[in-house]
Amino acid sequence: MSFNKDKLENRFKKEYEKLNEQQRLAVDTIEGPVMVIAGPGTGKTQILASRVGKILLETDASPENILCLTFTDAGVVAMRKRLVELIGPEAYKVDIHTYHSFCNSVIQENIRLFNKKELEPLSDLERVQFLKQLIDGFEKDNPLKRYKGDIYYDISNLASFFSAIKREGWEESWLLQKIDEYVSDILPETDGFYNKSDKKKGITSLTQKGKDQVERMEKLKAAVKAFSLYKQILDEHHRYDYDDMITWVIRIFEKNPDVLLNYQERFQYILVDEYQDTSGSQNRIVELLISYWKDESPNLFVVGDDDQSIYRFQGANLENLMNLAGRFEKDLVKVVLTQNYRSVQPVLDAARLLIENNEQRLVKKDTNLTKELTAANPALKDLIIYPEIHVYENEFAENVKVTLAIKNLIQKGVPPGNIAVIYYKHRFGDELLKFLQLEEVPFFVKKSLDLLKDVFIKKIVNIIRYTVAETDMPGSGDTLLFEILHYDFFRLTPFKIATICNEIADNRKNKTGIGSLRSYLQQLRSSNSETLFAKDEQTSELIRIFNLLEDLQKQMFNKPVQQWFEQLVNEAGILAYIMQQPDKLLLMSKLSSLYDYIKDETHRRPELSIKQLLVQLDLMRENDLSLELVQTTGSNTGVNLLTCHGSKGLEFEYVFLINACNDAWEGKKNLKRGFFLPPNVFGQESKAEIIEELRRLFFVSVTRAEKYLYISYPRMKNDGKLQEPSQFVEEIKQPLGLKPIEINLTGEEKVHFGALRFGVVSKPVLQQAEKDYADRLLSNFVMNVTALNNYLDCPLRFYYTNLVRVPSAKSEAAAFGTAVHAALADFINYMMNNGRIYPGKDFLVNRFIYHLQSEREIFTQESLARFLELGQDVMAKYYDHYYADAPKGDFILTEYPLTKVVLNGIPLKGFTDKIQFWGNDIVITDFKTGSVEKARDRGEFSKPGENKEIRYGGNYWRQAVFYKILVDNLPGKNWKVLYTQFDFVEPGKNNEFVIERLNITNEDIQQVTQQIQKVWQKIQQHDFYTGCGKPQCEWCNFVRDNKLYLRLEEEEPAEL
Confidence class for position 2, pLDDT limits 50, 70, 90: very low
Amino acid at 839: P
> What confidence tens digit (pLDDT) does each residue in 619-642 have?
888 877 788 776 666 566 889 999
> What confidence tens digit (pLDDT) does each residue in 15-67 have?
889 999 999 999 999 999 999 999 999 988 888 889 998 998 899 899 999 99
Which CA distances in Å does 164 have to 237, 682, 683?
Answer: 22, 10, 13
For 844, residues 6+ apart whose C-beta sits below 8 A from its C-beta are 823, 824, 827, 875, 876, 878, 879, 883
pLDDT attached to residue 3: 40
Confidence class for position 120, pLDDT limits 50, 70, 90: confident
- CB of 722 closer than 8 Å to CB of 381: no
Residue 194 is given by DSSP the state: B
Q: What span, in angstroms and rounded, lies between the C-alpha atoms of 361 and 427? A: 31
Whether 427 has a pLDDT exceeding 90, the answer reads no
pLDDT attached to residue 602: 85
Whether 653 has a pLDDT exceeding 90, the answer reads yes
Whether 314 has a pLDDT exceeding 70, the answer reads no
Confidence class for position 279, pLDDT limits 50, 70, 90: confident
> What confidence tens digit (pLDDT) does each residue in 378-425 have?
999 999 999 999 999 999 999 999 999 999 999 999 999 999 999 998
> What confidence tens digit (pLDDT) does each residue in 149-168 have?
778 888 888 988 898 888 77
DSSP-derived 3-state class of residue 35: strand
Residue 189 is given by DSSP the state: G
Helix (H) or strand (E) holding 1050: strand 1045-1050
pLDDT attached to residue 611: 92
Q: What span, in angstroms and rounded, lies between the C-alpha atoms of 346 and 733? A: 12
pLDDT attached to residue 759: 44
**Average pLDDT of span 534-560:** 89
- CB of 213 closer than 8 Å to CB of 225: no
Whether 1052 has a pLDDT exceeding 50, the answer reads no
* Number of Cβ within a 10 Å radius of residue 374: 11
Q: What span, in angstroms and rounded, lies between the C-alpha atoms of 606 and 620? A: 20
Q: What span, in angstroms and rounded, lies between the C-alpha atoms of 336 and 1041? A: 56
Rounded to 5°, angle at Cα 573 from 570 and 577: 120
The mean predicted confidence, pLDDT, of the chain is: 86
pLDDT attached to residue 682: 65
Q: What span, in angstroms and rounded, lies between the C-alpha atoms of 844 and 863? A: 21
pLDDT attached to residue 325: 61
What residue ranges in 169-273 does DSSP mark as E strands? 239-240, 269-272
**More confident position, 148 or 462:** 462
pLDDT attached to residue 1048: 60
Confidence class for position 989, pLDDT limits 50, 70, 90: confident
pLDDT attached to residue 671: 44
Q: What span, in angstroms and rounded, lies between the C-alpha atoms of 458 and 544? A: 22
Confidence class for position 321, pLDDT limits 50, 70, 90: low
**More confident position, 146 or 728:** 728
Beta bridge partners of 928: 984
- CB of 107 closer than 8 Å to CB of 249: yes
Of the listed ranges 79-83, 193-197, 199-203, 698-702, the one predicted with least confidence: 199-203
Closest of 673, 678, 674 to residue 213, by C-alpha: 678
**More confident position, 349 or 116:** 349
Whether 669 has a pLDDT exceeding 60, the answer reads no
**Average pLDDT of span 703-730:** 93
Q: What span, in angstroms and rounded, lies between the C-alpha atoms of 243 and 224? A: 17
Taking phi over 0 as left and psi of -120 to 50 as alpha, with beta for the rest, 906 belongs to beta
pLDDT attached to residue 152: 84
Of the listed ranges 523-532, 818-827, 885-894, 951-960, the one predicted with least confidence: 523-532
Q: For the chain, first and last CA: distance in Å?
A: 72
pTM over 0.85: no
Which CA distances in Å does 45 have to 35, 50, 81, 643?
Answer: 14, 9, 10, 22
Domains defined along the chain, listed by start = 2-114+244-337 (3.40.50.300), 122-237 (no CATH), 388-442+635-669+678-758 (3.40.50.300), 452-633 (1.10.486.10), 761-805+891-1056 (no CATH), 809-889 (no CATH)
Beta bridge partners of 301: 34, 271
- CB of 330 closer than 8 Å to CB of 64: no
Which CA distances in Å does 839 have to 10, 50, 927, 986?
Answer: 98, 87, 19, 20
**Average pLDDT of span 565-572:** 91
> What confidence tens digit (pLDDT) does each residue in 864-892 have?
888 999 999 999 999 999 998 887 888 99
Confidence class for position 1015, pLDDT limits 50, 70, 90: very high
- CB of 966 closer than 8 Å to CB of 907: no
Whether 313 has a pLDDT exceeding 50, the answer reads no
pLDDT attached to residue 534: 56
> What confidence tens digit (pLDDT) does each residue in 990-1013 have?
788 999 999 999 999 999 999 999
Q: What span, in angstroms and rounded, lies between the C-alpha atoms of 796 and 809? A: 19
pLDDT attached to residue 1031: 79
pLDDT attached to residue 732: 96
pLDDT attached to residue 734: 93
DSSP-derived 3-state class of residue 505: helix
pLDDT attached to residue 316: 43
DSSP-derived 3-state class of residue 374: strand
Residue 999 burial class via C-beta count within 10 angstroms: exposed 0-12, middle 13-18, buried 19 and up: exposed
What share of the chain has pLDDT > 70, as a percent? 91
**Average pLDDT of span 959-970:** 95
Whether 902 has a pLDDT exceeding 70, the answer reads yes
Q: How would you list the strands of the sheet with 976-984, edge to edge?
A: 891-903, 906-918, 921-928, 976-984, 994-998
> What confidence tens digit (pLDDT) does each residue in 182-223 have?
888 877 777 767 776 666 666 667 788 888 888 889 999 999
